[in-house]
């Protein structure tokens, strides 16, 4: 057995048993870690693999959340079925954005701006959509449905395993994609789109498939998000800062790597929580104090490991995940 | 095998090609020479489907390919080695080669073709696991050629394959073109190195300001006074 397989197996065993040793709060922090790792993996498919910078990934997270929640609240549809609708809608929107940009050759930063624009439109739109609560937020009732796993109703422990399974599945999917023909096409397009075209790769199709895979994954993240929190606010879920949060784990962990989003999430989420406690303990009550320290920590990390923590750590541990 | 008739190409208002007509018979090496900006690269990009011509016809193996996207054209067996050694820098040599084998026409034989490329270019075998961006200029050019051949093309258009290479490497690259041609590959050769490419070519076209101004056998053009004065400095 190769060293990395052993380490992966060890990690899986520890994570499966870990809730036994954790309290409710610590379990809930790990739910956030897994959800961040999952969303980071989704974002990384577009940016890390295909070289398409999305600065509006909150769009798919929010759409997935709203669609599945609305179907559940208004029609009693289980999110396990609702997620298919959520995925379909997100894929539809992603294809529309993709078609628009690739048709008119909108690339690079202009593509990134377009993704922001669509997230903003969704934010403002859902702010005014009374059917899903408008600006006041949309709530799932908690009473009387606890324990209905088929409706994704449950506490931190339940969501610990849901989100762990999602993060693990996303990792496995990305490993498979990275080794697939499509994965190679993405990397070729990322490296040099013109050269990819010259060797006969259908660049538009490769890009479109990256957008679709990423959006579909993100839609599921939105479903988990809303059923975990039991509420969704358009002003928060579609916000630019949410999109940035999604990107941070893979950027810190290592863009384009398979393990980077996971490592990034394991560093950033606990760091954020620790800073909240630390600022409280130190009696620093100024609003934004946590953000200042968080920003400082990010600067230090990026300074020390400019291409992400995972690539430098990997070298030290002497394990590979293939290139890059 | 490849025929171009009355090809016009515009970038916005600027005309890059004006009524270019040329013919590439099967098994030939056809050279296209001309100064910088004469339209050589535009011509290659129009034939390969990366730019849409505004008028004219392009036929390959009897099939009209005008306006077809590049991935369709490539899959018919019309490959190109683009100008400037466009390898994928952070992918390994092996991965670069495999991207060339993604065409449906060649994907089934990618393992054999990969082995064949390593035999043809032994340097690449030594470097197989190395990132392509770390190769020397000459090695990158070999890689770009090998990557194109992974797609099993029947005709390859070489755009300035010796650009930026040392004189010894230029000869080596042109020697490879000659060898591939001897094995049955039809070649279109766009070269700054006019004398060497005319010597190699069975037929040649001179491109000036987007139009063909002279054509003939390579030997005839080598003797042509206008060519000697303009391109060979004699």
pLDDT at A1: 52
The alpha-carbon gap from A196 to the nearest alpha carbon of chain B, in Å, equals 8
Measure CB to CB from residue B86 to each of A185, A194, A324 and give the nearest one. Answer: A194
- Contact of B138 with B146, CB cutoff 8 Å: no
CB-based burial of residue B199 (10 Å sphere; 0-12 exposed, 13-18 middle, 19+ buried)? middle
Same domain, B100 and B202: no
Q: pTM value?
A: 0.89
Has residue A290 been placed in a domain?
no
ipTM over cut 0.90: no
Same domain, B158 and B232: yes
Same domain, B49 and B87: no
B2-11 and B14-24 beta bridge pairing = antiparallel
pLDDT at A313: 87
Same domain, B193 and B145: no
Better-predicted residue by pLDDT, B187 or B168? B187
pLDDT beyond 70 at A140: yes
Residue A124 sits in which domain range? 23-239
Per-residue burial over A59-71, b if 16 or more Cβ lie within 10 Å, else e, is: bbbbbbbbbbbbb
Same domain, B95 and B71: no
Question: What does the pLDDT look like over A101-118, one tens digit per residue?
Answer: 988 888 889 999 999 999
Rounded distance between C-alpha atoms, residue A131 and residue A32, angstroms: 28
Q: Which residue of A has its CA nearest to B79?
A: A199
Residue B205 sits in which domain range? 1-77+154-234
Rounded CA Rg of chain B = 17
Q: Which residue of B has its CA nearest to A183?
A: B99
Residues of chain A positioned with their CB less than 8 A from the CB of B99: 184-185, 187-188, 196, 199, 201
Residues B48, B49, B51, B54: is their CA dihedral positive or negative?
positive
Per the structure, the count of domains in chain B is 2
CA distances from A87 to A68, A84, A118, B4, B34 (A): 9, 5, 17, 47, 54
Count CA atoms closer than 13 A to B121's CA, side-chain side. 28
CATH code, B213: 3.40.50.300
Q: How confident is the model at residue A144 (pLDDT cuts 50, 70, 90)?
A: low
Has residue A8 been placed in a domain?
no
Rounded CA Rg of chain A = 20
Same domain, B148 and B189: no
Same domain, B169 and B204: yes
User: Quick check: B48 contacting A, CB < 8 Å?
Assistant: yes
Measure CB to CB from residue B71 to each of A194, A201, A324 and give the nearest one. Answer: A201
Residues of chain A positioned with their CB less than 8 A from the CB of B69: 202
| B89 contacts A184? CB cut-off 8 A | no
Rounded distance between C-alpha atoms, residue A62 and residue A221, angstroms: 9
The neighbour count for residue B184, using CB atoms within 10 Å, is 9
Q: How confident is the model at residue A14 (pLDDT cuts 50, 70, 90)?
A: very high
Same domain, B141 and B178: no
Per-residue burial over A83-97, b if 16 or more Cβ lie within 10 Å, else e, is: bebbbebbbebbeeb
Per the structure, the count of domains in chain A is 1
Give the position of tokens 């701006």: A113
| A192 contacts B74? CB cut-off 8 A | no
Task: Return the ∠ at Cα B61 (arms to B58 and B63), rounded to 5°.
Answer: 55
| A184 contacts B70? CB cut-off 8 A | no
| B50 contacts A198? CB cut-off 8 A | yes
The alpha-carbon gap from A323 to the nearest alpha carbon of chain B, in Å, equals 7
pLDDT at A291: 84
Q: Which residues, including other chains, have CB under 8 Å from residue A205's CB and lie 6 or more apart?
A: none
């Amino acid at each position: 057995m190769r060293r990395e397989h052993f380490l992966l197996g060890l990690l899986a065993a520890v994570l499966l048993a870990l809730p036994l040793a954790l309290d409710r709060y610590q379990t809930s922090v790990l739910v956030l870690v897994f959800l961040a790792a999952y969303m980071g993996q989704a974002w990384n498919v577009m940016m890390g693999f295909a070289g398409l910078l999305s600065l509006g990934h909150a769009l798919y997270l929010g759409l997935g959340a709203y669609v599945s929640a609305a179907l559940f609240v208004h029609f009693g549809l289980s999110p396990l079925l609702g997620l298919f609708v959520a995925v379909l809608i997100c894929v539809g929107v992603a294809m529309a954005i993709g078609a628009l940009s690739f048709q008119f050759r909108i690339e690079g930063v202009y593509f990134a701006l377009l993704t922001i624009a669509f997230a903003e439109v969704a934010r403002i739109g859902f702010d005014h959509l009374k059917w899903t609560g408008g600006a006041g937020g949309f709530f799932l009732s908690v009473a009387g449905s606890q324990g209905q796993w088929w409706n994704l109703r449950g506490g931190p422990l339940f969501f610990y395993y849901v989100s762990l399974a999602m993060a693990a599945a996303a990792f496995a999917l990305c490993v498979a994609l990275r080794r697939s023909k499509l994965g190679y096409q993405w990397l070729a397009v990322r490296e040099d789109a013109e050269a990819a075209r010259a060797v006969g790769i259908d660049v538009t199709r490769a890009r479109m498939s990256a957008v679709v895979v990423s959006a579909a994954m993100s839609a599921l993240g939105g479903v988990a998000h809303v059923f975990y929190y039991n509420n969704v606010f358009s002003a928060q879920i579609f916000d630019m800062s949410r999109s940035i949060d999604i990107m941070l784990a893979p950027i810190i962990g290592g863009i384009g790597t398979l393990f980077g989003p996971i490592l990034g999430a394991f560093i950033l989420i606990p760091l954020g929580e620790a800073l909240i406690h630390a600022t409280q303990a130190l009696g620093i009550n100024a609003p934004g104090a946590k953000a200042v320290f968080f920003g400082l920590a990010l600067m230090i990390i990026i300074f020390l490991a400019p291409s992400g923590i995972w690539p430098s750590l990997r070298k030290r541990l002497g394990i590979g995940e293939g290139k890059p | 095998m490849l025929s171009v008739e009355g090809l016009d190409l515009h970038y916005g208002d600027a005309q890059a090609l004006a009524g270019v007509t040329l013919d590439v018979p099967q098994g030939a090496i056809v050279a296209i020479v001309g100064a910088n900006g004469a339209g050589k690269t535009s011509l290659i990009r129009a034939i390969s489907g990366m730019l849409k011509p505004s008028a004219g016809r392009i036929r390959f193996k009897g099939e009209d390919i005008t306006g077809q996207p590049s991935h369709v054209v490539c899959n018919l067996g019309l490959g190109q080695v683009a100008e400037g050694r466009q390898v994928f820098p952070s992918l390994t040599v092996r991965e670069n080669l495999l991207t060339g084998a993604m065409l449906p026409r060649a994907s089934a034989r990618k393992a054999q073709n990969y082995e064949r490329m390593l035999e043809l270019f032994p340097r690449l075998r030594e470097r197989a696991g190395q990132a392509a961006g770390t190769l020397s200029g000459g090695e990158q050019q070999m890689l770009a050629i090998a990557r194109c051949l992974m797609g099993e093309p029947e005709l390859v258009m070489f755009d300035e394959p010796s650009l930026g290479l040392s004189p010894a490497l230029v000869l080596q690259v042109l020697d490879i073109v000659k060898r591939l041609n001897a094995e049955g590959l039809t070649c279109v050769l766009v070269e700054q190195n006019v004398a060497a490419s005319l010597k190699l070519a069975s037929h040649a076209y001179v491109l000036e300001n987007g139009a063909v101004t002279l054509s003939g056998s390579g030997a005839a053009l080598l003797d042509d006074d206008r060519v000697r004065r303009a391109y060979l400095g004699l």
